[in-house]
Amino acid sequence: MSPDSLKRCLSVFLSGGVLAVLLLLTACQNIRGTKILHAKTDPSFEYAWQVLRDTYFDTNFHGLNWQGIHDELSPKAALTRSPDQLRPILEDMLSRLGRSHLAIIPAARHSEPELGARTSAEMLLNKPVGSGTLGLGLRLLDSNLVVTAVTPHSSAANIGIKTGWTLQSIDGVNLPQLLAELPSDHAFKKNSFLAWNLGEHAQRGDANSIANVTLLDGADQLQTLKVTRIALPGQPVALGHFPPLHTLFTNRWLDTAVPQRMGYIHFNFWMLPAGIAFDHAIEEMKSADGLVIDMRGNLGGLAAMVMGVGGHFVTNRQDLGVMLTRDNQLHLYANPRTVNPSGDSTQPYAGPLAILTDEISASAAELFAGGMQSMGRARIFGRPTAGQALPATFTKLPNQDLLYHAFADFILPNGLRLEAKGVIPDEWIPLRRSDLIDNRDAPLEAAVAWIKNRKSSAP
């Protein structure tokens, strides 16, 4: 890959494991031209296998015999008669690598998929997600999906659903049962991420449709409710072949009634609208005695944005990490931001910086949190991130499905890899149902306490 191609592919630091919840795509073209060499077998299988053979960043394939995997699976692929039959074989091939950012994304279907012997959890994950949601933040806790947030003014909020309630079913789908069906042997997809993905699919549907929902409330009493789905909130951003990503951005002051003022910023995707909003928000908060950036639930996005946002917090050029392909390496540098959105001179923010993370902080969100932690510029609060941190791109297969595949490794300045392990918080704060029921945000409280105990200091 040429250096210019590698720079273009900065935009593909995407969120792995969010298959039907919307993968962030890039404008990169196929990294190398690949010819189908085995015309007598399935052409899409051959093409996918060869793309990885020619572009995967580890030429040793983590010790696997890549040719042997081809020889094992190719006869099975040759017997398939449709993309739906072929996908499990391709997914099997990808799973052998044991890394994130590897997936088969189905082309638009004109008929029902052949589900065969798939489990009910797999069937749910392959249903259309729709443009509506119940508006519930969900996380895995003690083998249950617990409500961690409720969208204000939504039907769910208006009928009284609270944080700390546990989700039991949506439209008759038994969620605890489906959670028990989830595989537990993934090398990189943590159960907490898989469970969140399942819950996200379950609550999605057409906007304004009504779902029959059962939950256990804070007293463990069963509540049976009819909840109207709301349109996905946020600014839609279209990329590639996929439906719009709805980007949310929030900033506010904490402790407004006391002299010490702390700023709070949260967004869910590293997309251009969030970057523009961040530039304006940080200028408003330059006087803050401390800042909290909430990366919980942030699924990643455009890697180049991480360099720009990081520049708001450094006074000299800092290395956030390096992307390693077969042929090149590209460091992601944060350069000091000395001009504000109006074109006037400014200085980077020099006060204490806290970053909140959880198991749904993925990809570019991990790069930012890990890079800022590695250089000693931020303290991390919460739970370990998803550990899905490989730069990736996509290639269209002959059957029109998309092969989503990692083309580079990523290493932090301190030499650590984020893949599989994720960012480990400086202060690990577990998710507790009692805190949710009491409407307490323990990681945010810990971050605020740390800021209050520190004097502002330069990076």
One-letter identity of residue 397: L
Evaluate whether residue 159 is within a structural domain.
yes
Task: Say if residue 86 is in the same domain as residue 43.
Answer: yes
What is the per-residue pLDDT across 103-158, written as a single tens digit (0 to 9) for each?
888 886 433 333 333 444 544 455 557 889 999 999 999 999 999 999 999 999 99
Task: Say if residue 243 is in the same domain as residue 374.
Answer: yes
The pTM is what?
Answer: 0.86
What domain range includes position 138? 132-231
Please tell me the distance from the alpha carbon of residue 57 to that of residue 330, in angstroms, as a whole number.
13
Residue 236 near residue 56 (C-beta atoms within 8 A): no
Evaluate whether residue 120 is within a structural domain.
no
**Domain of residue 344, CATH code:** 3.90.226.10
Q: Describe the crossing of helices 43-55 and 66-78 by its angle, rounded to 10 degrees.
A: 170
Please tell me the distance from the alpha carbon of residue 47 to that of residue 61, in angstroms, as a whole number.
17
**Domain of residue 157, CATH code:** 2.30.42.10
Q: pLDDT at position 80, please? A: 95
Give, in order, the Cα–Cα distances in Å from 31 to each of 50, 165, 329, 358, 382: 12, 47, 15, 33, 37
Task: Say if residue 20 is in the same domain as residue 8.
Answer: yes
Task: Say if residue 239 is in the same domain as residue 223.
Answer: no
List the structure tokens of 301: 């996005």
First to last CA, the chain: 35
Please tell me the distance from the alpha carbon of residue 169 to that of residue 193, in angstroms, as a whole number.
19
Q: pLDDT at position 41, please? A: 81
Task: Say if residue 292 is in the same domain as residue 417.
Answer: yes
Residue 171 near residue 212 (C-beta atoms within 8 A): yes
Evaluate whether residue 397 is within a structural domain.
no
Q: pLDDT at position 107, please? A: 81
Closest CA to 318 of 303, 307, 302, 329: 307
What is the per-residue pLDDT across 23-65, written as a single tens digit (0 to 9) for each?
322 223 333 444 444 447 899 999 999 999 999 999 999 999 9
Other beta carbons within 10 Å of 113? 16
Type and span of the H or E element at 67: helix 66-78
Count of helix runs (H) and strand runs (E) in the chain: 13, 22
Three-class secondary structure of residue 278 per DSSP: helix
